Amino acid sequence: MSIGLAPPPTVAQAAAGAPRSLWSDAWRRLGRNRVAVASGTFLLGMCVLAAMAPWIPFVQDPALQDLRLGATPPAWAHWFGTDDLGRDLFARVLYGGRVSMLVGVVATMVSLAIGVTWGAVSGYVGGRVDELMMRVVDVLYSLPYLFLVILLLVLFQRSIVMLFVALGLVQWLTMARIVRGQVLSLKAQTFVEAARALGASDAAIVFRHLVPNTLGPVIVYTTLTVPAVILQEAFLSFLGLGVQPPGASWGTLVSDGARVLSLFPWLVLFPGIALSLTLLAFNFLGDGLRDALDPQDRRDVN
């Protein structure tokens, strides 16, 4: 009686049995979250449409005025209607989206750079340095952040760059706490001891070994910070402290439309819908990323 040898496993079988990394597993689970995927697709489409607005043939010049036309409701020639100066509202919503999204992303990057650096250094050094750095965070937390933003915008020249800096400077506190907590749990791991034994400097250990291992929570919180910044910019613009004319953002469009809401409701409706859908999509995407990157929930996604 002969004993036959089993055939070698195919490439597909070998791949199926191979262990997956956290990132590939997270990507698979994110792909199964239809709401998060739809939100990401919507945000990508919104960004592409806003970025390409100057080269899209049917998008009119947002600054082109037609005083004889005035404010008109939505029609085929003007999908979102026109404002009281005869400017096409669809074009202004698209161009306003460019400003709002840019403010959200750039201010978040500013807060990301400050918060990750502050939290990583504080958690890695520890001791009195950690205590001092965290007390600074606690003091800043006790201050109303919108008051600080308004103060910065009033004391310094109001510009789009100053708006980026002001919003970024008040958004890094929670990021610093998140990164500090992650670093405190990681700095005693074996890979940190190995890097130190190989002669790596403290800066290399922090930024080449510890910070990359905190990217999961950082990415999730980043997706939740962008809509918070966009909403703050809209509030500041509503108060007249945000984007200055002739520029426009969703906040300024809502503010301008609110003054004539009873007469021309579409001037608030369309920028308000664009702002609400974008904030909702960011929050859904953030929730999906949080679930996908949860190390306690690595379920089989095949």
Name which of 42, 66, 59, 57 is nearest 94 in CA terms.
59
Predicted pLDDT at 132: 92
* 15 pLDDT more than 60: no
175 in any annotated domain: yes
Is residue 26 situated within a structural domain? no
Is 107 among the domain residues? Answer: yes
According to the model, what pLDDT value does residue 295 have? 52
Residue 269 lies in a domain: yes
Structure tokens at 207: 């930024």
Question: What mean pLDDT value characterizes the chain?
Answer: 79
- Whether the pLDDT of residue 4 is over 50: the answer is no
Residue 93 has pLDDT above 80, yes or no: yes
**Residue 253 to residue 78: CA distance in whole angstroms:** 16
Express each pLDDT in 121-142 by its tens digit.
988 888 888 899 999 888 888 8
pLDDT at 79 > cutoff 70: yes
What is the predicted pLDDT for the residue at 14? Answer: 43
Show the domain range for 188: 49-292
- Whether residue 176 contacts residue 137, with contact meaning beta carbons closer than 8 Å, is answered with yes
Say which CATH number the domain at 272 has. 1.10.3720.10
188: confidence class by pLDDT, cuts 50, 70, 90: confident
Closest C-alpha among 109, 239, 122 to residue 164: 109
Residue 302 CA to residue 298 CA, distance in Å, equals 12
How far apart are the two ends of the chain, measured CA to CA in Å? Answer: 39
Q: Would you place residue 46 in the very low, low, confident or very high pLDDT band (cuts 50, 70, 90)?
A: confident
Q: Does any domain span residue 122?
A: yes
User: What is d(CA 141, CA 112) in angstroms, rounded to the nearest whole number?
Assistant: 17
The Cβ of residue 28 has, within 10 Å, a number of other Cβ atoms equal to 15
User: Does some domain include residue 236?
Assistant: yes
- The total number of structural domains in the chain stands at 1
> pLDDT at residue 19 above 70?
no
91's enclosing H/E stretch is helix 89-125
Q: Give the pLDDT score at 226.
A: 84
Task: Check: pTM over 0.85? Answer yes or no.
Answer: no
Mean pLDDT comparison of 166-175, 218-227, 264-273, 283-292, highest-scoring range:
264-273
pLDDT beyond 60 at 11: no
In a domain, 114, yes or no: yes
Q: Of 188 and 11, which is predicted with more confidence?
A: 188
Is 298 a member of any domain?
A: no
